[in-house]
Amino acid sequence: MSRGKSGRPTRPSGEAFWWALFSAGGVMAAIFVPAFILATGFLLPSGDPAAAAEGAQRLAALAGWWPVKLVLLGVITLSLFHCAHRIRHTLMDLGMRNLAGFLKLPCYGGALAGTVWLALVLWGI
Partner 1 sequence: MAETKTITLELFRYHPETDSEPRFQSYEVPYDEDWVVLDAINWIKDYVDGSVTHRWSCRMGVCGSCGMMVNGEPKLTCAAFLKNYYPFPIKVEPLVNFPVERDLVVDMEGFMDKLQDVKPYIIRDDVNDTSEGEYLQTPAELAQYKQYSMCINCMLCYSACPVVGHEDDFLGPAALALGHRYNKDSRDQGQSERLEVMLRSEAMWGCTFVGECTVVCPKHVDPAGAIQQAKAMGAQEYFKRFVMPKGAGATKGAGA
Q: What does the binding site for partner 1 look like in residue numbers (CB under 8 A)?
A: 1, 6-13, 15-17, 19-20, 23, 89-90, 92-93, 95, 97
Separation of alpha carbons 26 and 80, rounded Å: 10
> At its nearest, how many Å lie between partner 1 and the CB of residue 36?
25
Separation of alpha carbons 115 and 109, rounded Å: 10
Separation of alpha carbons 77 and 107, rounded Å: 13
Give whichever of 46 and 98 is closer to partner 1, judged by the CB atom.
98
- Rounded to the nearest 5 degrees, what angle is found at the Cα of 38, between the Cα atoms of 46 and 24? 170
> At its nearest, how many Å lie between partner 1 and the CB of residue 53?
43
Give whichever of 2 and 46 is closer to partner 1, judged by the CB atom.
2
> At its nearest, how many Å lie between partner 1 and the CB of residue 8?
5
Separation of alpha carbons 24 and 29, rounded Å: 9
State in Å, rounded, how far the first CA of the chain is from the last one.
46
Give whichever of 16 and 120 is closer to partner 1, judged by the CB atom.
16
> At its nearest, how many Å lie between partner 1 and the CB of residue 29?
14
What is the residue type of 17?
F
Give whichever of 5 and 123 is closer to partner 1, judged by the CB atom.
5
